[in-house]
A and B are shown apart, each in its own frame.
Chain A
Amino acid sequence: MTRIDMNSGGTAVSVRGLVKHYGETKALDGVDLDVREGTVMGVLGPNGAGKTTLVRILSTLLAPTSGEATVAGYDVLRQPRQLRRVIGLTGQYASVDEKLPGWENLYMIGRLLDLSRKDSRARADELLERFSLTDAAKRPASTYSGGMRRRLDLAASMIGHPQVLFLDEPTTGLDPRTRMEVWDEVKSMVGGGVTVLLTTQYMEEAEALASELTVVDHGKVVAQGAIDELKARVGGRALRIRPADPLQLRPLARALDDLGITGLATVTVDVESGTVLVPILSDEQLTAVVGAVSARGIVIASITTELPSLDEVFLSLTGHRAGAPQDSVPTHDREEVAV
């Protein structure tokens, strides 16, 4: 596959000062963004943050009010035809023809991308196979389950061997198991060298798929950087431990406090659920915590790792809740019982 050699040092997507106004509403209010070739950029934000507007502008469905954007070196406004040839798009709602069978959907897109009949047929067969849809090839897409439809959508985006793939909330509305399936597909696509810009409302999804993260709110970038870096800023994972005996709750918390590991200062006890919440920054810390608990002979009923929710991420990064006007919700408005 011939790749475009970009002067800008392998930048697949470049966005500068992008603004989109709908009358008074500022869907995008000056966004800057760079996605390096072959990486996955997660764009995290609540509903109405401007994520979909960004994807629609980058895929030439929408013209920006001002600002510049290039994808694979092509300008969204000046070179839309060439740009469309090198991108794949999977929208928030499955963008497949529901009345057509899966195979026909893929064949049609092959023809629309100027593949020969033979190549279109071969590509349709190949992608159905890869996305485990061969058995459903002849059924109308309307009979597919949510996960199958999303997979067909991903397959449709892959027909033209895109260099840049836009995934707009690819797992919104899917059950957890189907979500994992879609993640696996996205991971395997990235393995193939495609650059991905993915929007999501879930920190968990960004963490599973993206290497870089841009957090947006009210059309503005509120944080940007490598995902590990941002995770460290928001406190990363937390370990939720539930002792078998609720009376052990406080002794457990005290034991963990006494461990003296850096970053473990804020052990919280959640009496209602009978659990202790321990923020951890590394696998080493996780191991140390588990070791300390068993050394004290406290019997544990369950232990789970939790990722900060979108809300918590926003709180840590911006000091206000996602989607809320600034300063309307004070920082200390968290329902936690401190020890």
Chain B
Amino acid sequence: MSAIAVNPADASADPRIPLRNHLRHTGALIRRNLLWIRQDPESMFDAILFPVIFTLLFVYVFGGSIGQSLGGGQEAYVQYVVPGLLAMMGMNMAQGVGTGFNTDFHTGVMDRFRSLPIGRASVLIAKISVEMMRMLVASAVLMVVGVLVGFHIHHWLGMFAAIGLSAVFGSALMWVFLTLGVTMKSAQSVQAMGFLVLMPLQFGSSIFAPTQSMPGWLQNFTDYNPLSALADAARGLMVGGPVAHGTLLTLAWSVGLTAVMAPISIYKFRTKT
């Protein structure tokens, strides 16, 4: 074995890590996160059960009454709520990232990662990559359950586009929750914080019900809520209707959140001791 024959005298600068190495490191860390799932398959329960439970609950509990206001019944509500739930998927997966990462952070292995010659962002990117895969599993389950309870996919291409859009927005949210996960002291506080943020965002949106019947001030909120934009875009893409406004708004939010939160979380992670 020949170690790196660097003469420290002329190595005054610290060479940057080449992209190829970054990809290799991220790959190794993705493998780590995937092995966790193999080691503990129950950790996939939320990705699989969440879409099932929410679809059944909303369709059978609220479906009849909300459906009437949509000019149909439960059948009409299924068409309305399934694309909405797709918008919610990213949000729920993202929340788990924060708590999971916070727990991970308190284990000794983080010290090892940070003492290795790897870009520290690769630890975060690997985590997000695996969570995106979980999100796609959840979306697939949602589509299957949706179709079973009567959802009609009008545009197959649109469906894939909607899933992609929801994944993009979900990954942006993951950076938000990663920042929380790195910053806050305990996993419990991350979860509590996530819950406080998520509940109003989820229900104050067009995910579960049309916003026309809401009071004016709430409508103002829902109009700016990125989840409404995503839900509307998903509806347009899968069922038909206006697409451009919601899609652009969602993408704008995604880019904005990522541009702000990704550097912050990487910085926080880098400087955390």
Contact = CB atoms under 8 A, between A and B. Distances in A.
Interface string B2-45: 11111111011111110001001101110110011001100000
Contacts of B117: 81-82, 84-85, 113-114
B28 A61 contact: no
Contacts of B4: 2, 82, 85-86
Interface string B103-143: 00001110111111110000000000000000000000000
Interface string A74-94: 100011111011110101011
Main secondary structure of the interface of A (DSSP, over half): loop
Interface residues of B, number: 40
A158 B222 CA distance: 55
B8 A72 contact: yes
Given A91-B108, A109-B116, A104 B32 contact: yes
Interface string B64-78: 000000000000000
Interface in A58-73: 59-62, 72-73
Main secondary structure of the interface of B (DSSP, over half): loop
A3 B40 CA distance: 43
Nearest to B122: A112
Contacts of B107: 97-98
B64 to A, nearest CB: 45
A108 B115 contact: no
Contacts of B40: 99
Q: For chain A, which range describes its interface: under 10, 10 to 19, 20 to 34, or 35 or more residues?
A: 35 or more
A100 B38 CA distance: 10
B273 interface: yes
A86 B115 contact: no
Contacts of A111: 24-25, 27-28, 31
A93 B14 CA distance: 29
The CB with the most chain A CB atoms within 10 A, among B5, B6, B25, is that of B6
B14 A80 contact: yes
B148 interface: no
A163 interface: yes
A61 B273 contact: yes
Interface of B: 1-9, 11-17, 21, 24-25, 27-29, 31-32, 35-36, 39-40, 107-109, 111-118, 273
Given A82-B14, A100-B39, 12 more contacts: A1-B1, A7-B9, A61-B111, A61-B114, A81-B14, A82-B15, A82-B117, A96-B108, A96-B112, A100-B36, A108-B32, A114-B21
